[in-house]
Amino acid sequence: MYSEHYGLTGNPFQLTPDARFWFESETHKKAMAYLGYGLSQGEGFIVITGDIGAGKTTLVGHLMATVDTTRLTPVQIVSTQVEGDGLLRLVAQQFGIESHGWKKAELLDRIERFLHAQAREGRKTLLIVDEAQNLSVEALEELRMLSNFQSAGRALLQIFLLGQPEFRDRVKSAPNLEQLRQRVIATHHLSPMHASEIEPYIAHRMKIAGWQGRPQFASEAFAVLYAATNGVPRRLNTLMARVLLFGAVEDLDIIDAQAVEAVVADLSGDSEPVETARAAPEPHEATPAPDVYAELAAVPEAQSPAPSPAPGPAKSSASGDDLHDRIAVLEARIDEQDAALRRVLTLLVQWVEEEEDHPGFDVVRGSAA
């Protein structure tokens, strides 16, 4: 809804990583520098870590979109909690090697022959392993053994490991990973963005989505956005999507600090019930309409205060205080009504957007959908 309202050509703050929206923050610029150095060495391990939502997957997407595939063959796997043999089979499958039924020695031989074939064609091979914190010691040892494959004194395989902060600590200190630790030639930890990077980050993503200057953003809004997200890209994307939705509902041409604060307060108080009501639909199924009637039923009615007995002369001053209290209660109930109705409207808007993205009838939309 907000994309149409503001004349955008797409969703600038989608949660699915998209290399088109790559933003070179200071920390991501350093990560790419370490990656470039590591790839120039052509051997060993490159380790990049970061908190959840720090942009690790976006970094990989940018790398995959920019490498020269005539000189480098990048292959990516997302590790699960597998043991050594299971990881070898995952690697073989990504190399296009049939792994079913082969013993470990035979599988290693087929992987080595694949790497030699790549080298004869003048290509290096890069294995990218995401979620490396899930790898067992045995799986990491198998990766180290794969890095031993050589031809004419040059390594046939280079390995790029991405993981959460605990993986960095594990590699640094685990006594049973000393041999792998000695093979790490470049490492970097993705930190959150600085406060000064929030404004250019938002402008960058908005422009890619066709932003023509509407809505405008007041300068003080960026400080609130940073304070609410600590500069973590995924958190910022989530908040910005809701801010733009709020702006569309309220027909705002300027997003100011007050608008952002209103959304932050709404997310803080209403995130759990909204998420519960909006369970994810199965593929190719229409998103169920939100239970608006249940929401409306929960809206407190603004009731008139019960009439009280007429005060006598001795209670005249107390009756004024009592009337004031009852007016305050009535105003509070009206505020509750307003908040509940806003939640209903938000549910309806989100449902309409999801129906547009995932129609109920059967349409082939491509793998990216």
Q: Does a structural domain hold residue 332? A: yes
Q: Final residue of a domain: which of 190, 212, 234?
A: 190
Q: Does a structural domain hold residue 301? A: yes
Asked whether residue 52 falls in the same domain as residue 155, the answer is yes
Asked whether residue 41 falls in the same domain as residue 182, the answer is yes
CATH number at residue 100: 3.40.50.300
Give bridge partners of residue 127 from the DSSP assignment.
75, 159
Give bridge partners of residue 179 from the DSSP assignment.
none
The tally of domains found in the chain comes to 3
119: Cα separation from own chain's centroid:
36
Q: Does a structural domain hold residue 20? A: no
Whole-number Cα distances in Å, 321 to 145, 243, 332: 81, 40, 17
Asked whether residue 110 falls in the same domain as residue 219, the answer is no
Single-letter amino acid, residue 76: Q
For residue 244 the two structure tokens come to 């733009």
Question: What does the alpha-carbon distance between residue 1 and residue 250 come to, in Å, rounded to a whole number?
Answer: 12
Whole-number Cα distances in Å, 130 to 45, 49, 75, 123: 13, 10, 11, 22
Q: Does a structural domain hold residue 369? A: no
Q: Final residue of a domain: which of 190, 207, 226?
A: 190
Asked whether residue 177 falls in the same domain as residue 32, the answer is yes
Res 54: pLDDT: 92
Res 15: pLDDT: 84
Asked whether residue 38 falls in the same domain as residue 186, the answer is yes
Q: Does a structural domain hold residue 262? A: yes
Whole-number Cα distances in Å, 260 to 15, 80, 117, 257: 19, 38, 55, 5
Closest CA relative to residue 12, chosen from 315, 224, 247, 219: 247
Asked whether residue 154 falls in the same domain as residue 56, the answer is yes
Asked whether residue 56 falls in the same domain as residue 111, the answer is yes
Question: What does the alpha-carbon distance between residue 280 and residue 301 come to, in Å, rounded to a whole number?
Answer: 31
Q: Does a structural domain hold residue 133? A: yes
Is residue 154 classed exposed, middle or buried when 0-12, 13-18 and 19+ CB atoms within 10 A define those classes? exposed
Asked whether residue 272 falls in the same domain as residue 302, the answer is no
Q: Does a structural domain hold residue 21? A: no
Res 104: pLDDT: 87
Asked whether residue 180 falls in the same domain as residue 206, the answer is no
All residue ranges of the chain with pLDDT < 50 are 271-319, 356, 358-369
Single-letter amino acid, residue 356: E
Collapsing DSSP to helix, strand or coil, 279 comes out as coil
Res 163: pLDDT: 93
Q: Does a structural domain hold residue 350? A: yes
Asked whether residue 88 falls in the same domain as residue 176, the answer is yes
Burial 346-363 (b: 16+ CB within 10 A, else e): bbbbbbebbeeebeeeee
Do the beta carbons of residue 140 and residue 81 sit within 8 Å?
A: no
Res 202: pLDDT: 97
157-163/124-130 β-pairing: parallel
Question: What does the alpha-carbon distance between residue 57 and residue 129 come to, in Å, rounded to a whole number?
Answer: 11
CATH number at residue 221: 1.10.8
Q: Final residue of a domain: which of 170, 190, 210?
A: 190
Asked whether residue 223 falls in the same domain as residue 261, the answer is yes
For residue 25 the two structure tokens come to 């923050």
Asked whether residue 45 falls in the same domain as residue 63, the answer is yes
Domain containing 74: what range?
A: 26-190
